[in-house]
């Protein structure tokens, strides 16, 4: 029976050694997991800080762009309602009519009406297409002299 007790004691020592090894391994694994969790929490905290700063910056930029958009909309409405465009167009029509009248002036009344009508039709044609774009960029020069030249 002594042999069984020696065998049992050896088995008990081996089992105890394996048990201690597993307990130590589990404690080391728990420490490693706790370090990994702490590292991941720090990474998550840093990322959330960076994203919140980025989101704050984007919100500020969005608010600034909305403000600029509103200012531009108001400016556009103001510019489109500004008087002067129709008057300038009408003056161009009158200038063309006056130029034609000074060239062909046998009778003032009928000639003025005919020249004005021709000028308005031409101006309406020039409001659309490439001709209108070019005329807006380049001022119109006429062949008629506005003031007569002095001849000595």
**Each residue of 40-85: pLDDT tens digit?**
999 999 999 999 999 999 999 999 999 999 999 888 877 766 656 6
- Tell me the CA distances in angstroms from 78 to 17, 70, 86, one per residue in order: 90, 12, 15
* 82 vs 29, higher pLDDT: 29
The per-residue pLDDT for range 103-146, each reduced to its tens digit, is: 776 666 666 677 778 877 877 777 665 666 666 666 656 555 54
Total tally of structural domains belonging to the chain: 2
Q: Do 41 and 88 fall within a single domain?
A: no
In a domain, 144, yes or no: no
Q: Do 104 and 71 fall within a single domain?
A: no
In a domain, 146, yes or no: no
Q: Do 71 and 57 fall within a single domain?
A: yes
Domain limits at 99?
A: 83-137
Residues 6+ apart with CB under 8 A from 140: 92, 95, 96
In a domain, 129, yes or no: yes
Q: Do 33 and 54 fall within a single domain?
A: yes
The pTM assigned to this predicted structure is 0.38
Burial readout 119-129 (b: 16 or more C-beta within 10 A, e: otherwise): bbeebeebeee
Q: Do 76 and 8 fall within a single domain?
A: yes
pLDDT at 120: 79
Q: Where is the domain boundary, 82, 115, 147?
A: 82
Section 4-20 average pLDDT = 94
pLDDT at 141: 61
Evaluate whether 88 touches 139 at the Cβ level (below 8 Å). Answer: no
Q: Do 53 and 7 fall within a single domain?
A: yes
Section 22-43 average pLDDT = 96
In a domain, 150, yes or no: no
Q: Where is the domain boundary, 37, 59, 82?
A: 82
């Amino acid at each position: 029976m002594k042999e069984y007790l020696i065998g049992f004691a050896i088995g008990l020592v081996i089992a105890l050694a394996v048990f201690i090894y597993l307990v130590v391994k589990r404690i080391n694994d728990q420490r490693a997991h706790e370090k990994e969790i702490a590292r991941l929490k720090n990474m998550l905290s840093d990322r959330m800080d960076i994203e919140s700063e980025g989101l704050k910056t984007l919100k500020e930029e969005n608010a600034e762009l909305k403000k600029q958009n509103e200012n531009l909309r108001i400016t556009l409405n103001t510019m489109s309602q500004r008087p002067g465009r129709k008057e300038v167009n009408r003056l161009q029509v009158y200038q063309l009519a006056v130029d034609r009248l000074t060239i062909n002036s046998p009778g003032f009344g009928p000639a003025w009406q005919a020249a004005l009508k021709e000028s308005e039709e031409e101006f309406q044609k020039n409001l659309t297409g490439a001709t209108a774009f070019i005329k807006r960029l380049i001022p119109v020069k006429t062949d008629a002299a506005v003031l007569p030249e002095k001849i000595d």
